[in-house]
Amino acid sequence: MEPKDGLTQDESASIYLYAMEWNETENSLYAILNRTLCLADRTQLRPWFRYLKLFLTALFKLPSIPCRVFWRGVPEDLSTLYSLRKEQIWWSFSSWTSSISVLESPFYLGKSKARTMMSIETKNGKLIRTHSFFQNHDEILLPPGICLRVIDQANPTDSLHFIHFQEISPPFPMLAEPFDLNQLKKTPPKLLSSQGNFPKVDASSNMSLSSSFKKDINMSLIKSVKGKDQLLLDGYRYRRDRLVWRCVTNNCKGRARYDDGIYTTYQDHICRAPDPDEIEKALYNYEIKKNAQQCHDPPRLIIQNARLKISLDAAINIPQYTASQRSIQRVRRDKDVQTEPKTFADIIIPSNYQVNALNEQFLLYDNNDNQRRILIFATKQHLDFLNECESWHCDGTFAVAPKLFEQMYSIHGSIRGKKLPLLYSLLPNKDKKTYEELFRIVAQHVRRKPDYITIDFEKAAENAFNVIYPECEILGCFFHFKKCIWKHICELHLKKEFLENQNNRRTMKNLAALAFVPPNNIVEEFSRIKENASDVLDGNKLYILNFYYVLSSFRFDFVFRR
């Protein structure tokens, strides 16, 4: 029996295979494919090229359903991910239905708990029922790379959320045609299959799925030196001329246009042959200028990242390092890009930088103190998570702290068995007063007091925690405990003994093992280590006595955990 819609057996089978449901849903083909489509590393798609060529050929043969509304349900709250008027590209295939009653099934949406019902206005939907594993469902499949805008949102109950999408034209083509679509207009579907006029799928060919594979080579939209739109297409540069694009070379007849979601040329160039190296140079100049405006990275880093994307043939044409550096400086000067602040008073945080990518408030606290500025960052959801954690893990990092601030101090919580950072702060110093202010603000937003707090061996932080959370048990971090031992080994010039003498190394490692000894037995076990130490260690007693001083400076109920 021949498949319907002019599809070959293999093409129809590709749809059937996609729609099949495994016993474990996450192992179904469609689930694995869609996860791969959403990866930033596009090279992970290469093993899928042959199947995607076959699958997309089948979908493109199917007639598109006229513009109407379709439905989709998800058994979780997605309202915070899609704010009103937000535009987003969906990189995976997505399944929808024309029957809203289907969503009441527990497999899709259910009738209880948190759930989100989505509707979409689209003209690219493909009805796959006649080729699907579920032939009694009106399943509508949308291709990857569609651009959506949230045009309405409602929350009729605390657990039910509605989001209405509208498909809009993307800024540039997201999906390459798997074959010449003009053949669909010229030849009836049945003849395409029976007479062999339809282009066969070459299983050995690599299909260009998304513009991210060929954007930098064949097509890109950039800004010119004067800030005008420019189109880079097939080795030529075009400028906008009303409804079409014309070659940037004067008197050249080369033209391009945007037709049915694709940029195409329709008049030949007379100026020169296509020059891909020149296009790479234009992309390089555009990228460093764009990054100069959008970030505060030093010119060296911006130039280095841009050069990594240039081919060897095009590398000889790009500007020298000093020229690119001056270009970045001019852009930042002309655009009045804010320079790095010299004092705390220079730090002004605009409202658009006080929220995260989901437009949620992220700046929690700013004391506006020009002498000791403190900034605390956390979303409401992160604070709610922190409020559910019985133990906190706190630590400061110095390498990533911006100038003027001494450290970036973070608080981590345990969510579903994983330690995740839930609150960040930029602190000017490591004083007890600073820590007290930080923890006092945290206590105002997180009502639950943790049972345990794990910190390093910083006395100021420990004292501040005892003030704000007097009933909380403070635990030491085993990682920092071992670092403390190694620090003293180096200070007492015992590094050589540790590296070259196995007995001495075992003695020093036994000191770290004291972290797992019950508090009441620490002194006894420490004395045993001291008695078994070699003459080198026991003779000068510098390290042993010094370490004993360090150990005894903490309370013996200061429990260490991995």
Residue linked to tokens 């657990």? 159
CA–CA gap between residue 73 and residue 104 (Å, rounded): 9
On whether both 130 and 31 belong to a single domain, the answer is yes
On whether both 170 and 263 belong to a single domain, the answer is no
CA–CA gap between residue 379 and residue 354 (Å, rounded): 10
- Report the Cα 233 to chain-centroid distance in Å: 29
Q: List, in sequence order, every beta strand (DSSP E) within 39-173.
A: 68-74, 87-90, 94-97, 115-122, 126-127, 139-142, 146-154, 160-168
Beta-carbon neighbour count of residue 171 at 10 Å? Answer: 11
Give the number of residues written for the chain. 562
Q: What residues does 221 pair with on adjacent strands? A: 231
Q: Is residue 35 part of a domain?
A: yes
Q: Is residue 200 part of a domain?
A: no
For 55, residues 6+ apart whose C-beta sits below 8 A from its C-beta are 11, 14, 15, 18
Q: Is residue 427 part of a domain?
A: yes
Q: What would the pLDDT profile of 45-98 be if each residue is shown by its tens digit?
A: 888 988 998 999 888 888 877 656 788 888 788 877 888 878 888 888 988 887
Q: Is residue 66 part of a domain?
A: yes
pLDDT band at 331 (very low <50, low <70, confident <90, very high): confident
Classify residue 303 by burial, with Cβ atoms within 10 Å: 0-12, 13-18, 19+.
buried
CATH code, domain carrying 130: 3.90.176.10
The sign of the torsion formed by the CA atoms of 298, 300, 302, 305 equals negative
Among candidate residues 251, 274, 297, the one where a domain is terminated:
274
On whether both 43 and 184 belong to a single domain, the answer is yes
Give the model's pLDDT for residue 392. 92
On whether both 390 and 408 belong to a single domain, the answer is yes
Q: What are phi and psi of 429, to 5 degrees?
A: -160, -170
Q: What would the pLDDT profile of 12-55 be if each residue is shown by its tens digit?
A: 899 888 888 887 778 889 889 989 988 877 788 888 988 998 99
In DSSP notation, 353-369 reads GSB-TTS-B-EEEE---
Q: Is residue 448 part of a domain?
A: yes
Structural domain count of the chain = 5
Share of the chain above pLDDT 70, in %: 82
CA–CA gap between residue 195 and residue 191 (Å, rounded): 5
CA–CA gap between residue 502 and residue 512 (Å, rounded): 16
Among candidate residues 162, 194, 226, the one where a domain is terminated:
194
Own/partner pairs for 419-423, CB < 8 Å, 24+ apart?
A: 419/393, 420/385, 422/378, 422/382, 422/383, 422/385, 422/386, 422/389, 423/364, 423/376, 423/377, 423/378, 423/382, 423/383, 423/386
On whether both 80 and 64 belong to a single domain, the answer is yes
Q: What would the pLDDT profile of 231-266 be if each residue is shown by its tens digit?
A: 888 888 999 888 889 999 988 989 988 776 678 888
Q: Give the DSSP letter of residue 341.
A: P
pLDDT band at 214 (very low <50, low <70, confident <90, very high): very low
pLDDT above 60 (res 107) = no
Among candidate residues 274, 304, 322, the one where a domain is terminated:
274
Residue linked to tokens 């004993």? 548
- In the structure encoding, which two tokens stand for residue 268, read together? 């030949």
For 205, residues 6+ apart whose C-beta sits below 8 A from its C-beta are 49, 50, 53
Give the model's pLDDT for residue 63. 82
Q: What would the pLDDT profile of 488-509 be if each residue is shown by its tens digit?
A: 777 777 778 777 777 778 877 8
Q: Is residue 346 part of a domain?
A: no
Contact 488, 510 (CB under 8 A): no
Most confident of 154-168, 266-280, 340-354, 439-453: 439-453
pLDDT above 90 (res 444) = yes
Residue linked to tokens 């990594």? 308
Nearest alpha-carbon partner for 62 in 17, 16, 7, 8: 7
Q: What would the pLDDT profile of 142-198 be if each residue is shown by its tens digit?
A: 888 888 888 888 777 777 888 888 888 776 677 777 765 555 544 444 433 333 333
Which element (helix H / strand E) includes 284?
Answer: helix 276-294
Q: List, in sequence order, every beta strand (DSSP E) within 17-145.
A: 68-74, 87-90, 94-97, 115-122, 126-127, 139-142
Amino acid at 357: A
On whether both 320 and 401 belong to a single domain, the answer is no
On whether both 258 and 151 belong to a single domain, the answer is no
Q: What angle do CA 106, 108, 113 make, to 5 degrees?
A: 60
On whether both 238 and 309 belong to a single domain, the answer is no
Q: Is residue 347 part of a domain?
A: no
Q: What residues does 219 pair with on adjacent strands? A: 233
Q: Domain residues for 241?
A: 212-274
Contact 153, 84 (CB under 8 A): yes
Q: Is residue 101 part of a domain?
A: yes
On whether both 324 and 310 belong to a single domain, the answer is yes
For 337, residues 6+ apart whose C-beta sits below 8 A from its C-beta are 292, 293, 296, 331
Q: Give the DSSP letter of residue 307.
A: H
On whether both 391 and 437 belong to a single domain, the answer is yes
Contact 89, 147 (CB under 8 A): yes
β-pairing, 262-267 vs 375-377, is unpaired
pLDDT band at 103 (very low <50, low <70, confident <90, very high): low
Q: What are phi and psi of 135, to 5 degrees?
A: -85, 0
- In the structure encoding, which two tokens stand for residue 558, read together? 């200061």
Q: What residues does 103 pair with on adjacent strands? A: none
Mean residue pLDDT of the chain comes to 79
Q: Per mean pLDDT, which range of 108-112, 257-261, 445-449 is the poorest? A: 108-112
* Interior/surface letters 11-33, b for 16+ CB within 10 angstroms, e for the rest: bbbbbbebbeeeeeeeebbbeeb
Number of DSSP helices (H) and strands (E) in the chain, helices first: 19, 22
22 or 435: whose pLDDT is higher? 435
Residue linked to tokens 């200028």? 289
CA–CA gap between residue 11 and residue 55 (Å, rounded): 6
On whether both 97 and 232 belong to a single domain, the answer is no
* Helix, strand or coil, per DSSP, at residue 442: helix
- Maximum pairwise Cα distance, the chain: 97
On whether both 129 and 22 belong to a single domain, the answer is yes
* Helix, strand or coil, per DSSP, at residue 92: coil
Beta-carbon neighbour count of residue 474 at 10 Å? Answer: 20
